[in-house]
Amino acid sequence: MVTKKKAGLGRGLSAILGEVEEAYQNDLNDSSGLVVEIDINKIKPNPLQPRKIFDEESLKELAQSIEEHGLLQPILVYEDTKNPDEYYLIAGERRLRASKIANKQSIKVIIADVKEDKLRELALIENIQREDLNPIDLAHSYKELIEDYGITHEEVAKRLSKSRAQITNTLRLLELDSSVQKDILENKISQGHAKMLVTLSKENQRLVADSVIGQKLSVHETEKIVKNLKENTSFKLTPKNNKKEAPQNQDLTKAIQEVLGILSQKKFKVSQNTNKLIVEFRNNDEVRKFLNILPN
């Protein structure tokens, strides 16, 4: 039978997080018995886990590190009141999964004495504080905190020691088309790209995202396309073709997009229709201006 001391929530969530941090800093040599080792198979998944996707390659790397150096930080669990000596995970699912990959039979834990109504908040805050949380998962975590506890963006910012703008900008990612959110979850586009896309219609979000992925556009290049779409209503992107383009066609497509961007910036009325690039002139001055930018 494991001798264990439970970390309590007497002074609120900050108290338990502080005790966990103290245990980490003590390199797990906690003389009070806060850190214990239990059978890894007695730990059940966290039903409130905010993280949706776990990178398998990253888990394998962590498993290798655990095999070589052991688990450097204990996971956080609470006891199942209906099944004594069994536990639910609160925080540390990557470490738990990696330990299983490493075929560990037991794992170091901190057992929290926590009320059911505090579990979601504790799981959310612990995950939010981890640097590798995907921005979409992070946005969902912020949203759950706001909806579950009826607090404002400002209050979330204060509780997490972040700026209100950071909270609001991250939450805006949930306004993206669901397919674009999936691209972010799968690391096909970055949060920097996503911040540009969120200002567009759902249709244009998808079209620009396809361009970003297919042409490996930088955030700066994406910003130019988004600006053109918003400022020049005649500027259009060609929907993605499901058939894989030959390399020479991909180069041609990118060149056309660049020309579209240049002409739009110079205020020409320009559009693309399949293999046609259409420039409309309002007067003779525009014709002369266009001829002047053509190469000799």
- Six-digit token pair at 79? 């006891």
φ, ψ (nearest 5 deg) of residue 48: -115, 20
Alpha helices in the chain (DSSP H): 13-25, 56-69, 93-101, 116-128, 135-149, 153-160, 164-171, 178-185, 191-197, 202-215, 219-231, 247-265, 284-293
With beta carbons less than 8 A apart as the criterion, state whether 101 and 60 touch.
yes
Q: Is 258 a catalytic residue?
A: no
Q: Report CA-CA distances (Å) from 46 to 78, 219, 266.
A: 10, 36, 55
Q: Report CA-CA distances (Å) from 31 to 5, 20, 75, 178, 183.
A: 11, 14, 18, 49, 46
Determine which one of 68, 79, 86, 93 is catalytic. Answer: 93
Instruction: Decide: residue 226, CB within 10 A, 0-12 exposed, 13-18 middle, 19+ buried.
Output: buried
φ, ψ (nearest 5 deg) of residue 5: -115, 130
Catalytic residues: 93
